[in-house]
Amino acid sequence: MAATPTALASLYEHRYDDKLTHRITVQPEIGLPQWNGESLEGKSVLVYAEQGNGDSIQFSRYFPVLK
């Protein structure tokens, strides 16, 4: 069974859970709501680079999909 995009996002965002004892990531404090899979119709998206420049370049090819 394939996972939905919302389920995958939830699993990925689990890395920010405060209950994790060996957490190595910290959720960025950007003061904006996080996307939870809802429609992006009429909305803007802030793409935040949290890894290295190589990852940013690699995944920037998916920006047009957000349109």
pLDDT digits (tens, 9 = 90+) for 1-43: 566 766 656 666 677 777 777 777 777 788 888 777 888 888 8
Q: How many residues does the chain have?
A: 67
Whole-angstrom distance, CA of residue 26 vs CA of residue 18:
9
At 45, list the tokens. 């998206």
Q: How many CB atoms lie within 10 A of CB 16?
A: 13
* pTM of this structure: 0.49
- Is the predicted pLDDT of residue 54 greater than 80, yes or no? yes
23 and 17 Cβ atoms separated by less than 8 Å = yes
Instruction: Give Rg (Cα) of the chain.
Output: 14
39 and 5 Cβ atoms separated by less than 8 Å = no
